[in-house]
Structure 1
Amino acid sequence: MRLINFSQLRVFLWVMMVQTGAAIQLLAQDFYFKGNKSKDAISFALVKNLVIVPVYLNNHGPFNFILDTGVGPMIITDPKLIDSLGLRVSRTLEISGLGSGAKIDAFIANDVSVRVGNAWIDNMPTAILKQDIFGLSNYLGTKIYGLLGYHFFKSFVVQLNYSGKRMVFGHPWAFRKIKGERVPIEIENSKPYVNIDIETAEQGHLTVKTLMDNGASHAISLERLKEEPFPVPASSISANLGVGMSGPIAGNIGRVSSLTIGGFKLKGVLASYPRYDDVAAKVILKDRNGNLGADILSRFNITFDYADNSIYLRKNGQFNRPFEHDMSGIEVYLQEDKTRRYFVGRIEPGSPADLAGIKADDEIILINFSPAASFKLDDINNLFKSADGKTIILSIYRDKEIDVKVFKLKQRI
């Protein structure tokens, strides 16, 4: 899923595939190693807390895929791969998901072979979107072709070393002893769920059941409490929380006083409160309270062991980094052809950028007197949430004219 709100990044990808009322039938198969190999390791890229791995499809590639515990069947977001890989699509179905818009169409293919490192799977159940509705490449600053999830995690013990950007995966017997604190999880509908404890000013202590979604770059999203919308704290701000399969997700951003997973406690955690009709009302698993994302998970080096219904956590060097929301109000996206160009996708009403007169579709030419093209997208997003009161000077191009806009970052939550 594409996140449009850059401080909250990607909210979450949740997919319900329906064709005449029946869910897509998944083939019961696993990834495997050829020969006597039982373990492998590869490096990955980490962008906005998301793990991006090289994937080979039908012996072509590599293609950048987001490794996402929040998805079941593999999803190809770039429909151009149908022709370039010679894929045979068996049928079309409707995909309904989070967001306020309508359903979208997708193709189903069952003739896709997939390789990650030296691990293979044949005839991977795959949904191919007819349109790249997420625009992940523009909002992550690197070309993304899809998302890979459940079938990979259920096949192996998977260790994600966020600090070293390295993934080790293999058969359970290849791991003599797994380091870290064991935390039990439940696998339901091909997705992992974990119970965590939170403290809020209004609700006090709560134990909540959350989808463990490393493909969502927020910290935590709180959706439902006792079959009602999760109460939004008084000290929150309205925000665009992202885009789901069915369109934009509106809501609020606030904080929880603390969040505890296993024996680890984090304080002042940013929390999203999506509008009930956009998210909670559409979730099949009604006893879940929310979604635990990668702004939490990336603070650990994590081992996933689906077969044992467990994860193992070791905090890394990012554990104590502060939880900060965007302080500019600017959502930036990359348009890259022969040159790297940055544009304003959206402005938060009442934000510093809005008050400075910056508008959607403005092209950013200079950032603090340095060419915008010299920045990575992550660098820009980190700058815009770097320090309350920091002065930002942007040269923007609009209507064939260049203008200079100056504003100060403001911590709004």
Structure 2
Amino acid sequence: MHKYLILIILFFCLNNYGFSQSKFVVQNKKQSEKIRFKLINNLIVIPVEINGVTLSFLVDTGVSKPIIFNFLNVSDTLKIKNTETIYLRGLGEGESVKALKSTNNIFKIGDAINLNQDLYAVYDAHLNFAPRLGIPVHGIIGYDLFKDFVVEINYSSKYIRLTSHEKYEFTGCKNCEKLNLKFYKKKPYVNATVKINENKIPVKLLIDSGGSDSLWLFEDDSLGIKCGDKFFNDFLGHGLSGSVYGKRSKIDAFSLNSFELKSAHVAYPDSSSISFARNHKDRNGSIAGNILKRFNIVIDYHKALITIKKNAYFKENFTYNRTGIELAHEGVRLVKEADDDVIYINSVIKLPKNSVNESNTIIVNPKYKLSLKPAYTIVELRKDSPAERAGLLIGDIILNINGKPSYNYTLQDITEMFYGSIGKKMRLKVNRNGLELTFSFDLKSPL
């Protein structure tokens, strides 16, 4: 089971432009296709083939049209055509970003194919999610996939099933809940209830599978939606228009009909970061991956229904990052290995922005070898956190964790350690500008 901070939040304004008509169709007799996915930081990553090139995409119910993050001139490889320049706006305090809109692209997801799909290629090099997730991610897809199928998301078994509306048969579901969906600018919303200071408050929330946090609420004193005194300030994620910061806390309970999650974690984003998101006046926040993954879900946009059933993740405890460290996979380290001894060479090789490499080996001498290992760098550090108080800094490269080389772990493995039990001791060896330094601290609750 995994417990993660939100790393990515994606909201895009793509609704002021004319869209060509296009549709996904499953090309088999059953008109149904099952696609395995990777669950990374509570986010769904699936393979998507575009114009004959296979890429990795996030499945994000919060976006209208597919977007490609064009770090390596992917659009040249994809041979996208019929382009026009537009500007997109999303979460964060930054400016709009430049993108190319392209039409008549061929998308293929398993046996599901669309021969006339619009897409957007974003060229901002800072919009690179691969380092934060530890695997290559080339883009996101949302509404255009969900509108054409009944979509089953089985978080516990990690697959998505796409079935045509004509062929889908609902067989009934014991212990399920059905909720009505409302749509605003092609994004799905659901009614829920939050309990804050013993007061039950009805809320309207975006279903946001593209966010890895639990719950976001927009503070509103008139409704009783307010953080209170027990909170800590934190980095919440990175949006299309920049980083998002806010307050983290807990609420008494979160409910979807009869399903209740007690002491659910919540984030209250700064108002300056969500001014765009609040264009929908009736919206009170978002439900993201760390809550969504606790259910197996069937989404039917045509009937405006979502069916949810508790799964094995439902009782997983909510927890925080108790180090205050946010890591990213940034380049590789050159490591000299001889027999069972490992000597670290204090250098980092920067790879292309969208690369998350596997270990590569350079044979130099029969007695030893030089290997390229992942370099995990501190990119965010919470103020007054155990790691900051111990003396760690943004830019430090983690070499060793509790006596073991960091390259023995995936980025997810390390992140999970940061969510460990209160009181657990952490000992980190880092590379700081060519110097090796060691820091020790205990995991503590940020609240």
TM-score normalised by length of structure 2? 0.86
Instruction: Specify the alignment match of 1:177 in structure 2.
Output: 171
Secondary structure of 1:308's match? coil
Letter in 2 for 1:112: N
Instruction: Specify the alignment match of 1:205 in structure 2.
Output: 200
Letter in 2 for 1:342: Y
Q: How many Å separate the matches in 2 of 1:198 and 1:101? A: 31
CA contact under 8 A between 1:187 and 1:306: conserved in structure 2? no
Q: How many Å separate the matches in 2 of 1:280 and 1:410? A: 33
CA contact under 8 A between 1:178 and 1:312: conserved in structure 2? no
Instruction: Specify the alignment match of 2:257 in structure 1.
Output: 262
Instruction: Specify the alignment match of 1:14 in structure 2.
Output: 11
Q: How many Å separate the matches in 1 of 2:195 and 2:379? A: 34
Unmatched 5+ stretches in structure 2: 331-355, 358-371
Unmatched 5+ stretches in structure 1: 1-5
Q: How many Å separate the matches in 1 of 2:114 and 2:234? A: 40
Q: How many Å separate the matches in 2 of 1:47 and 1:64? A: 12
**Identity across aligned pairs (percent)?**
27
Q: Over residues 250-289 of structure 1, what are the superposed CA-to-partner deviations in whole Å (9 max), with x where a residue is unaligned?
A: 2101111100012100011111101112104543211100
In the TM superposition, residue 112 of structure 1 has moved relative to its aligned partner by: 1.6
Q: How many Å separate the matches in 2 of 1:292 and 1:241? A: 14
Q: How many Å separate the matches in 2 of 1:113 and 1:228? A: 46
CA 1:59 to 1:207, structure 2 compared with 1: closer, same or farther past 3 Å?
A: same
How do 1:158-197 residues align onto structure 2 when only pairs under 5 Å count?
158-172=151-165, 173-179=167-173, 180-197=176-193
* Stretch moving more, 8-17 or 212-221: 8-17
CA contact under 8 A between 1:224 and 1:288: conserved in structure 2? no
Instruction: Specify the alignment match of 2:66 in structure 1.
Output: 74
Q: How many Å separate the matches in 2 of 1:104 and 1:303? A: 34
CA contact under 8 A between 1:69 and 1:215: conserved in structure 2? yes
How do 1:11-50 residues align onto structure 2 when only pairs under 5 Å count?
12-17=9-14, 23-34=16-27, 36-50=29-43
How do 1:45-60 residues align onto structure 2 when only pairs under 5 Å count?
45-60=38-53
Instruction: Specify the alignment match of 1:355 in structure 2.
Output: 389
Instruction: Specify the alignment match of 1:273 in structure 2.
Output: 268
Q: 2:229 is matched with which residue: 225, 234, 253?
A: 234
* Stretch moving more, 177-186 or 228-237: 228-237
Letter in 2 for 1:200: I
Are positions 1:109 and 2:105 aligned together?
Answer: no
Q: How many Å separate the matches in 1 of 2:34 and 2:431? A: 45
In the TM superposition, residue 142 of structure 1 has moved relative to its aligned partner by: 0.2
Instruction: Specify the alignment match of 2:240 in structure 1.
Output: 245
Q: How many Å separate the matches in 2 of 1:229 and 1:96? A: 29
Q: How many Å separate the matches in 1 of 2:10 and 2:143? A: 13
CA 1:163 to 1:141, structure 2 compared with 1: closer, same or farther past 3 Å?
A: same
Q: How many Å separate the matches in 1 of 2:28 and 2:326? A: 48
In the TM superposition, residue 24 of structure 1 has moved relative to its aligned partner by: 1.8
* Stretch moving more, 356-365 or 30-39: 30-39
CA contact under 8 A between 1:224 and 1:280: conserved in structure 2? no
Q: Over residues 146-183 of structure 1, what are the superposed CA-to-partner deviations in whole Å (9 max), with x where a residue is unaligned?
A: 00100111110111111111111111333242533211
RMSD of Structure 2 on Structure 1 (CA): 1.8
* Stretch moving more, 157-166 or 25-34: 25-34
Instruction: Specify the alignment match of 2:325 in structure 1.
Output: 330
Letter in 2 for 1:73: K
CA contact under 8 A between 1:230 and 1:273: conserved in structure 2? no
CA 1:405 to 1:387, structure 2 compared with 1: closer, same or farther past 3 Å?
A: same
Instruction: Specify the alignment match of 2:401 in structure 1.
Output: 367
CA contact under 8 A between 1:32 and 1:121: conserved in structure 2? yes
Letter in 2 for 1:38: Q
Instruction: Specify the alignment match of 1:3 in structure 2.
Output: none
In the TM superposition, residue 7 of structure 1 has moved relative to its aligned partner by: 4.6
Q: How many Å separate the matches in 2 of 1:228 and 1:28? A: 40
Letter in 2 for 1:198: V
Q: Over residues 367-389 of structure 1, what are the superposed CA-to-partner deviations in whole Å (9 max), with x where a residue is unaligned?
A: 11111001111111111011111
Secondary structure of 1:396's match? strand
Instruction: Specify the alignment match of 2:347 in structure 1.
Output: none
Instruction: Specify the alignment match of 1:296 in structure 2.
Output: 291
CA 1:306 to 1:91, structure 2 compared with 1: closer, same or farther past 3 Å?
A: same
CA 1:7 to 1:51, structure 2 compared with 1: closer, same or farther past 3 Å?
A: closer
Are positions 1:340 and 2:374 aligned together?
Answer: yes
Letter in 2 for 1:272: A
Q: 1:129 is matched with which residue: 119, 122, 125?
A: 122
Q: Over residues 14-47 of structure 1, what are the superposed CA-to-partner deviations in whole Å (9 max), with x where a residue is unaligned?
A: 1114xxxx81222232210235341111211000
Secondary structure of 2:146's match? helix
Are positions 1:150 and 2:143 aligned together?
Answer: yes
CA contact under 8 A between 1:105 and 1:130: conserved in structure 2? yes
Q: How many Å separate the matches in 1 of 2:393 and 2:27? A: 54
In the TM superposition, residue 352 of structure 1 has moved relative to its aligned partner by: 0.2
Q: How many Å separate the matches in 2 of 1:399 and 1:229? A: 48
Secondary structure of 1:345's match? strand
CA contact under 8 A between 1:26 and 1:73: conserved in structure 2? no
Q: How many Å separate the matches in 1 of 2:279 and 2:162? A: 30
